């Protein structure tokens, strides 16, 4: 009876969490506990369980970020990409979080992973270009902003940044977007 209750409640928390714009932290924690239990008892195929657990950690990261707990958010995003290596949204958010924290090299690594997984993600290409420009890596930044422009040719922010990048890359200056 405990297994049935535990599995039912955890699964219900997971689907409630997935269907909501605002994730209840208690739902996410209950879902994490559920998937840990499911993995321990082998109740789902490992790959499916890992993907669902990764989505749950991603939701918890969002809740922790909204609580201004970026370190906790980063840990949950790292766990999400460990569990599901092709999770583009988690790679994107982790890259942005690391860049905001000043860890440009690791942020670029995760944004690169994101654009490999989802090559048509214009915002990821844009943010990758910004981070690369901040490190003075102009050729790579130009390539990333060109891809972002190809994907969204009418986006004014992308067009403006592309112009600034083209103007400043030749001078060797670092951009501060």
Burial class (CB in 10 A: 0-12, 13-18, 19+), 89: middle
Q: What is the pLDDT at residue 37?
A: 67
Residues with Cβ within 8 Å of residue 133, at least 6 apart in sequence: 141, 165, 168, 169, 174, 175, 177
63 has a pLDDT exceeding 70: yes
Band (pLDDT 50/70/90 cuts) for residue 165 is very high
Distance of CA 111 to the CA centre of its chain: 8
Q: What is the pLDDT at residue 17?
A: 47
The model's pTM: 0.76
Tens-digit pLDDT profile for residues 126-157: 999 999 999 999 999 999 999 999 999 999 99
- Nearest partner of 141 among 151, 157, 129, 150, judged by Cα: 129
Stronger pLDDT, 38 or 137, i.e. the higher one: 137
Q: What is the pLDDT at residue 82?
A: 93
Q: What is the pLDDT at residue 157?
A: 92
């Amino acid at each position: 009876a405990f297994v049935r209750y535990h599995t039912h409640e955890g699964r219900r928390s997971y689907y409630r969490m997935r269907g909501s714009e605002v994730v209840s932290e208690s739902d996410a924690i209950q879902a994490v506990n559920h998937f840990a239990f499911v993995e321990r008892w082998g109740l789902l195929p490992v790959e499916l369980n890992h993907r669902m657990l990764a989505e749950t950690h991603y939701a918890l990261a969002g809740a922790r970020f909204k609580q201004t707990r970026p370190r906790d958010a980063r840990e949950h995003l790292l766990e999400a990409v460990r569990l599901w290596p092709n999770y583009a949204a988690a790679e994107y958010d982790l890259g942005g979080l690391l860049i905001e924290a000043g860890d440009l090299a690791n942020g670029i690594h995760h944004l690169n992973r994101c654009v490999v997984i989802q090559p048509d993600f214009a915002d990821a290409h844009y943010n990758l270009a910004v981070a690369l420009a901040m490190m003075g890596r102009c050729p790579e930044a130009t390539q990333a902003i060109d891809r972002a422009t190809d994907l969204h040719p009418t986006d004014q922010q992308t067009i403006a940044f592309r112009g600034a990048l083209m103007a400043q890359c030749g001078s060797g200056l670092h951009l501060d977007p």
